[in-house]
Chain A
C-alpha cells in the first residue's frame, strides 16, 4: 500500500493514476488512501506553526492526530487507566515530569511497569474543590497532566465545563503542556476508548493474568468523524504497551528466571459439590 515516505510529486501522480484504474475494485483501499492524503495535507497546513510534538509511544502515536502528542493539546481517554498511563509513558521516559490529579486509586507499580519514571511522577490524589487551580498550577511546571475531574452533584451534568476547559486549554498552549483526561474533556484533540478487551493467561481455575489485547478506537475532529482503531497489547506480557503484531503470543513467550511464578492453589476445586 501507500507507504509513509516523503511525498514527492511523482509518487502522488502515480497514486492518482492507480486510483483511476482500479475504480470500483478496491473502494476501501481508495478511501483509505484519500483519507491518509487528506490527513497529511492537514498535518502540513498547521494553523499554529510552532506546535511541538512530544515523544509518544509509537503504538499510540498512530491513534493521535499528527502522529504524536502535540504540545498544548488535550486528550480524553475513556475508562482505561492503563491506556491513560500509556499516553504518559513517552514523555516520562524521555525525562519529562508528569502529574496525576484526582486518581486516588492509581497503581504506581503498574505505572512503573509501563515505563513511567516514578521519580518524576507527582500524585495529587484528592485535589478536592480546588482541582481546577491545582491542575492549572501543575500545568505550569510539569509536561503532562493526567486528570480525572471530580463527579458533579448532578450526575447528568458534564464533569468539566466548557469554560473551565477552554481556560485550561489556553494555559496548556502557553506552557506547551499536554493534558490527558480520564473521562470526557470538552474540545479534546482526540478521544480514545477501549472497544474490546481480552485477557490472556487466565483459564477457569488455573493460570494467571499475563497480558491483554485490546482494540483502541480513536476519534478526532481532524478526521471528520471517522474513527481509527488499532489492536494493542495493553499491557503486553512484559508489562509495556505494544502493537499486537509485534509481540509473540503469550503461550510461547519466554519467561525470565526471575519472573515469579504464580502461587499455586492449594488444591483443585471440586466442582461437584
Chain B
C-alpha cells in the first residue's frame, strides 16, 4: 500500500438526481421532489428535506410528511444522460476528468492548481464551469485521495463551497466523521455495535486484524478511513460521437423516402462503430416532424444491428408514428415513441448500448440453427412490420388474456406479472385454446328468452339457457357454471375491473368462457 495518496479535487452537485429528474419533468425549481426506487425514497430535494423527507423512507410515509411532494420513479439512464453535457463541458475546460457517478466528478489536483495558481482558486473556477449549466449549488473539495476529497466536497456549505484539506491532514479530517460514510452495509451495521462510531477509531485498528476479520474489501475500507486512498483519477476516454443524423430539406412524407435517405448514414454508423471495434445492441431512433413534434424510441436487438436492420427500425418506427389514429392497434403502438403529424425533417439514430465486436462474431460454422431462424423472422418483420412477428411467454393473471405476455420478436421481454405468484380466483386448467384478441359481444338468455343479469350480490336472475351471437345465431346451453366474481385493481381507476365469469357448454359440445360486466356479456375465450 502506498503511503501517500495523490492530491485530488472532487466536485459534487448536491441532489443531482433530483435536479435532473425535475428538469426532465419540467417541475419548478425548489418544489418538493422525491425519487423513488423499490418503494423507498432514494433522493429528495431540499424543500422536501425541510419537511422531514429522508432517504430510505417509504413512499406513503414521505407523502404524509409532505403532502405536496412530487413523487418520481428513479431512472438511472436519465440521470447519467442529463449529466453528460456537464461532463463534456468539464472535459473541454480541463483534461483527465474522472466521472465518479452522475453529479460527482474528480480530477487530479496538481495540474489545475498550478494553472489557476492555487488549489482553492482551481476548485472555484472548476465549480464555475459546472455552474454554467444552470446548476446553482456546486461544492468542491481538495484532499489527499479520492475518498477524502469527496467527503471534503460534502463538508462544504452553499456559503463556503470549497473545502481544502491540507496535504497530510486527510487522516485528521476523516477521523471525526461517522463510519456510515463508508457506505458498506455490513461494516456500517457492525462497527457501531463493536463500539466504533468514528472513522478515526476504525483507522486505529490494526491493518492485519481488519484484513483477517473483514477480508480484502474491509482492508480497503480501512485504508480509506485512514486517509490512505490508493486510487488515482482514471479519466474516461471521451466517447467519439457516432450517430446517424440526417436532415431532410424539404421535409419528407413517405416512409420509403425517409428509409432511403437514412440508408447511407446507417451504413456509416455501423462501420464507424466497427472502426472502434464495437457493435450496437440497442439504438435510439429520434424522428422530428416539421411542426417540432418528435417520436423517440429505443430498439433492442438480440445480437447486434446491421445497417439494413437499423433502416428497418427507422421504417417501423415511422410506420407506427404516422399510423392514422383509430386504426387497429394504433393506440398500443402510439404509446411507444410518440406520434408524428407532419412530414419528417430530421432522423437521428444513436447507439444506445454497444458491445465489443469480438463477443458478437459468428462462429466458423455459424451460431447454430437459431441464427437462421432469427434472420428468417427478421425478414418477415421486414415485410409486415416489427409488431407483426411475436413471441408469447406465460404470465400471471386471472383472465386468460392476462396470462400470456406477448412481445415482438427481437425485443427483450418486459418484466411481466409472475406466473408463480398465487393468483387467487384464477380459473383452473385447461386454458381456452382461443382467447379473443378483442372480446366478442354476445347475449345470454334464460329459458323464457329474457336476458340473464347478475346483481350486485352476485345473484343470477335466472339460469342461462341460450347463447345468442350478435348475428342472431342461437346456441342452446347444456351446462354452465358461475358466476365467479372478479374484482381487480379497484385502487387503480384505469385498470380496475369488476366482472363475473362463467363457463358454459352449448349443445354442439363447444365450451365458452363468458364474462359479464357493466357493458354486458362478452365471450373472452373458447375451448375449441
Residues of A participating in the B interface, judged by any CB pair closer than 8 Å: 79-82, 85, 97, 104-113, 118-119, 121-128, 130, 133-134, 137-138, 140-142, 196-199, 202-212, 214, 235, 237-239, 259-267, 269-271, 273
In the complex, A107→B460 CA distance in Å? 29
In the complex, A199→B122 CA distance in Å? 83
Question: Which residue of chain B has the shortest Cβ distance to A131 in the bound complex?
Answer: B384
B430 in complex: contacting residue of A121, A198, A209, CB < 8 Å: A209
Centre residue among A82, A134, A142, A266 by max chain B CB count within 10 A: A266
Are B380 and A124 in contact, with the CB atoms below 8 A?
Answer: yes
Question: Which residue of chain A has the shortest Cβ distance to B484 in the bound complex?
Answer: A263
Say how far A123's CB is from chain B's closest CB, in angstroms. 4
Are A128 and B372 in contact, with the CB atoms below 8 A?
Answer: no
Contacts known (A109-B400, A141-B376, A266-B457); A81 close to B433, Cβ less than 8 A? yes
Residues of B participating in the A interface, judged by any CB pair closer than 8 Å: 369, 372-373, 375-377, 379-380, 383-384, 388-394, 400, 403-404, 406, 409, 423-437, 457-463, 479-485, 503-505, 508-511, 525, 527-528
Are B505 and A199 in contact, with the CB atoms below 8 A?
Answer: yes
In the complex, A203→B478 CA distance in Å? 8
Contacts of A273 in B (CB 8 A): 461-462
Question: Which residue of chain A has the shortest Cβ distance to B436 in the bound complex?
Answer: A105
A109 in complex: contacting residue of B404, B479, B484, B528, CB < 8 Å: B404
A269 in complex: contacting residue of B429, B437, B463, B485, CB < 8 Å: B463
Say how far B369's CB is from chain A's closest CB, in angstroms. 8
Contacts of B384 in A (CB 8 A): 124, 126-128, 130, 134
Say how far A171's CB is from chain B's closest CB, in angstroms. 13
Q: List 27 A-B contacts (CB under 8 A).
A: A80-B528, A81-B433, A107-B404, A108-B393, A108-B406, A109-B435, A110-B435, A113-B430, A118-B392, A119-B391, A122-B390, A123-B406, A127-B388, A138-B376, A202-B481, A202-B505, A204-B480, A205-B463, A209-B505, A210-B430, A212-B509, A259-B429, A260-B426, A262-B427, A263-B485, A266-B458, A271-B463
Are A107 and B432 in contact, with the CB atoms below 8 A?
Answer: yes
A-B contact count (CB 8 A): 193
Contacts of A123 in B (CB 8 A): 389-392, 406
Contacts of A271 in B (CB 8 A): 462-463
In the complex, A209→B505 CA distance in Å? 9
In the complex, A142→B373 CA distance in Å? 7
Contacts known (A108-B404, A122-B377, A262-B484); A267 close to B459, Cβ less than 8 A? yes
Are B433 and A263 in contact, with the CB atoms below 8 A?
Answer: no
In the complex, A116→B437 CA distance in Å? 21
In the complex, A65→B72 CA distance in Å? 63
Say how far B18's CB is from chain A's closest CB, in angstroms. 41
Which 3 A-B residue pairs are closest in the complex by CB-CB distance?
A: A141-B376, A266-B458, A108-B392
